[in-house]
Chains A and B, each alone.
Chain A
Amino acid sequence: GQQVMQIPQYQHVQEGEDFTTYCNSSTTLSNIQWYKQRPGGHPVFLIQLVKSGEVKKQKRLTFQFGEAKKNSSLHITATQTTDVGTYFCAGGNRGSQGNLIFGKGTKLSVKP
């Protein structure tokens, strides 16, 4: 079945350093969504990418969708302690009734 791989599993950074997490799908996706889960919390939607090669920015966060629509990345510039949490990518397919396949997530810790 379809798989969505996400790396790295953990990332420890010093505050102010950059952070990137990568997502790869075994199949071509119709869209990819990114979610953030704070420690002890629930996943919260960040963004959706739909177009091949799409790049979207939210302040210090940059999201990319690959040209082949099989990979994606989230880059955080100059991390802050408020960025701590687990970041999940989730791939959607047209034939899946809108269901998402979640990656296992990247857990980010930020040392002040």
Chain B
Amino acid sequence: NAGVTQTPKFRVLKTGQSMTLLCAQDMNHEYMYWYRQDPGMGLRLIHYSVGEGTTAKGEVPDGYNVSRLKKQNFLLGLESAAPSQTSVYFCAGRRGLAGVDTQYFGPGTRLTVL
């Protein structure tokens, strides 16, 4: 079991460039999440998905788009990167079962926008 994986691990972009971050999971997670983590700001939810083919906005969705065409994968897109999007991005998933329902996080993608 690979768990929750993210690619790439690091990326440097120039302002205006686009990129896609991939999150993949083999844990049969129904729910998947994209967070960004900035110093002193904790984890802020960008977008999330409650199942294959569905997506919804979180707390800070502007400048990002997502897709969940397959249950295992959740993609985060930046159409026109800005320096304010320099951050560490974490993907997480959870099964959506009753009881203890842990979020399992991927290792993160460190993105710098120049």
Interface residues of A (CB under 8 A from B): 1, 6, 9, 33, 35, 41-45, 48, 88, 90, 97-100, 102-105
Assuming the contacts A33-B102, A48-B100, A99-B58, asked whether A42 and B43 have C-beta atoms less than 8 A apart, the reply is no
Chain B interface extent, by class: 20 to 34
**Beyond A98-B31, A102-B42, is A43–B96 a contact (Cβ under 8 Å)?**
no
* B residues in contact (CB < 8 Å) with A: 31, 33, 35, 40-45, 48, 50, 56, 58-59, 90, 92, 94, 96, 100-108
The complex places the Cα of A100 from the Cα of B96 at a distance, in Å, of 13
CA distance A9 to B102 in the complex (A): 24
Alpha-carbon distance A34/B31, docked complex (angstroms): 19
Q: Taking A98-B94, A98-B96, A99-B45 as contacts, is the C-beta distance between A45 and B102 under 8 angstroms?
A: yes
Q: Which of A33, A42, A88 contacts B107 (CB 8 A)?
A: A42
Q: What are 11 A-to-B residue pairs whose CB atoms are below 8 Å?
A: A35-B103, A41-B107, A42-B105, A42-B108, A98-B96, A99-B45, A99-B58, A102-B42, A102-B43, A104-B41, A104-B42
Q: List 10 tightest A-B contacts by C-beta distance, closest first.
A: A104-B42, A102-B43, A45-B102, A42-B105, A102-B42, A48-B100, A43-B105, A105-B42, A42-B108, A42-B107
